[in-house]
Chains A and B, each alone.
Chain A
Amino acid sequence: MDRRTFVKAGCISSASLLIEGLDPMVRAETAQPPVPPIELHGLPGYKPSPLGLPGLFPGRVVEARDPAAIVHNRVSQPVVRRLLELAMRELTGENSIRDAWAKFVEPKDIVGIKINPSGAPACCSSPEIVREIISAVQSVGVPARNIVVYDRYSYEIDIGSYQALLPPGIRIVGIQEAFAAGGEYEPNVYCDANFFGEWETRSYMANIVTHEVTKIINVPTMKDHSASGVTGALKNLAYGTFNNVARTHRAPYTFTNPLIGLMCTVEPLRSKSVLHIMDGMRQVWHGGPLTQVQDFIDQSGILLAATDPVAMDTVELEAIERKRQEKGAPSLWQQDPKSITSNSEEFYHDASKNLFFRQPGHVAAAGKLGLGVAELNRIDHRRVWA
């Protein structure tokens, strides 16, 4: 069996497992269209790394928190520095910060920092956290010129003003422009599936991931997502690395489950993604990923660190679910057709409305693909306080 056949077979089996095994009630009530066959093509001959997902510490998530981390919507650089240090020590068991980071990056690495600027300026990867990560990576001996902060859309990076806010010497790259096709993508590494009869059925992996960086530090935000339930470590990697992903949504349906997890299994994305630092300074509990409505953004002052994106997103999912409950909003798992609206204004201002039947099951599905631990009782959730 060659790699292509193997992957295809594996995916079909995973996909059907998800539909039949995880959310039977969802399937019955919402008539989600069946998942089509999905073909995955990784980089031929790529040797998987032991640092790859779920990484050095499967199932471990460190949550660092300080109410002073964000005050009047401004993130405190010194508090964030302390939180990141605490989290990295706890995650790795190392006393020295430099040793903690050296578990993931070496001086010869080209380090990609995958930010999430979508939702800027209201909620995106905080430049303050990104600055601390850059500084930590440099402390291991990686020169500034070998650090690249990137995301898919350059216009979203502009809105976040990352160019002006990050230190000189590092590169800041938007893989493609907002409305144009193009960008640099590897034609031999892709996911192929026809979800809704679209004419282009492939999503290609960005060259920056395939060929340029040797390690990825993932900096997702803590948000609900109208299609996938939450957008966390998994989605930031998957939908921020492959192009042509909007085709997986056609309201009210979405194939984020199982596609998010499947994309994260594709090499070299899986092997290069060695560490996830989730920015929970702001927590969007409704209207994600793009909302600018402050009523639905809680200033939580949380930072999570993990090598296991599934465990991290499970913790995130619980946190957002708890917040929604606290605010009287319906569960992320709710699949009531009455909650669906096609009016985006209504969605942005009413927490009981949604554009899609959310698919938070994509996190557990990724767990079943071997990307990490999705069962809460198996997650080693450690809390540290500044």
Chain B
Amino acid sequence: MKKETVPRPHFADWPTLLKDNARSGGQAQRVVHAPERALWQYRAGASARSSPILFDGVLFVTSVDGVLHAIDAATGLAKWKFRAEAQVHSTPSLCAERVLFGCDDGKVYAVDRHAGTKVWQTSAEAEVWASPVSCNGAVFFGSADAKVYAVDAGSGRTRWVQELGGRIYSTIYATEQRLYVGCGDAKVYCLEAASGKVVWSRPTDNGIDSSPAVAGGLVLVGSEDFLFYAMDANTGEVRWKYETGLGIASSPAVSGDLTIFGGKDGFLYALDTQTGHLRWKAAAGELVTAPAVIGEGIVCIQSGGTLAFDLASGKLVWRAALGGSLQSVPVLAGDRIYLASLGGEIYALQ
């Protein structure tokens, strides 16, 4: 059997939602100044409802009309397009030489990242909006059929299926041993990565759309019950919770001792990860459902446009009119920002 070589990520690579499986969201990327010019603009031909990812100089982004686009990050020209059989809302992720994404007909595809050809596909019983996550040779994803699937990363063959109590739109946070995911039944679940067995579950007071992050032994996640939770990663015990003005669909980004997320009440919140104390709260002007990403000294979000706030104070540093979005996350790569917009435009800004 041929052994697969896993490409070594380049510093600027951004191979999954919020950059890596730790949801670190950029961290040392430099975008202190407002972008001054557009390097290129790419028209996807339909709305982009997910986030782009970047690997080895290629930007991968899905559009709702069912197309996975591979775009040369230097020129903005299409390298290839892969058309699925249904709409796509899922953020792609990289797994070795493959780009993974879910589809509204329940299929999850693995597409060769060089050739744009299908390597394998697997199926859930309802739409897969969450981003598939790979870890230790397995790919994990949740579906609106209320099930979490684990499939073999090489073949797509099912390893296990675990049924939960509600629709799953939250992207799984995977560690070697455990998976953490939010669910429409209002619970946060911790599953064994090897078997899918439920280790613990903890109810909130409404469904969960947000994808969790794990830091400092805490599972950090927002709920539609207006609360942001920190739960003990081992037991699910609620360590602290923070109340906002409306539901929380935005997934958190974690940097050092700061946890940052947006609220549907139109604010961006920065909390102390260990205590839940508010460090700062900044008005975004419009509701925030997309995750925040953290760069060097700043935090970026896409809301009505693209906004950057000072990481320490929450003060608005710059605002760009481009990149109005619901779920998309800007990709910060050196002095560049890549954005996907609700209107289906993909931009490279410098």
Q: Which residues of A contact B (CB under 8 A)?
A: 73-74, 121-122, 127, 155, 158-159, 161, 163-169, 177-180, 292, 294
Contacts and interface: CB of A to CB of B under 8 A. Distances in A.
Residue of A168, A177, A179 with most partner-chain B CB within 10 A: A168
13 contacts: A74-B205, A122-B246, A127-B207, A155-B342, A158-B327, A161-B207, A163-B144, A163-B169, A164-B169, A164-B207, A165-B184, A165-B209, A179-B342
Contacts of A121: 246-247, 264-265, 287
* Minimum-distance CB pairs A-B, first 5: A164-B209, A165-B207, A121-B264, A168-B146, A161-B209
Contacts of B224: 127, 161, 164-165
Contact of B264 (A127, A159, A167): A159
A100 B303 CA distance: 44
A159 B289 CA distance: 7
A180 B46 contact: yes
B64 A177 contact: yes
Interface of B: 46-47, 49, 64, 126, 129, 144-146, 166-167, 169-170, 184, 205-209, 224-226, 245-247, 249, 264-266, 287, 289, 326-327, 342-344
A164 B184 contact: yes
A147 to B, nearest CB: 13
Contact of B287 (A73, A292, A294): A292
Label chain B's interface by main secondary structure. Answer: loop
Contacts of B343: 178-179
A214 to B, nearest CB: 22
Contact of A167 (B49, B166, B206): B166
A327 B167 CA distance: 41
Given A121-B265, A179-B342, A180-B344, 18 more contacts: A73-B246, A74-B226, A121-B287, A155-B49, A159-B289, A159-B326, A161-B209, A161-B249, A163-B129, A163-B144, A163-B167, A163-B169, A163-B184, A165-B184, A168-B166, A177-B46, A177-B64, A292-B287
Nearest to B327: A158
B230 to A, nearest CB: 20
A178 B289 contact: no
Given A121-B246, A159-B326, A164-B169, A178 B47 contact: yes
A166 B167 contact: yes
A226 B146 CA distance: 40
A180 B64 CA distance: 11
Nearest to B207: A165
A241 to B, nearest CB: 21
Contacts of B287: 121, 159, 292
A168 B167 contact: yes
Contact of A180 (B47, B126, B146, B170): B47
Contacts of B344: 180
Contacts of A159: 264, 287, 289, 326
B247 A161 contact: yes
A168 B225 CA distance: 19
B326 A292 contact: no
A179 B47 contact: yes
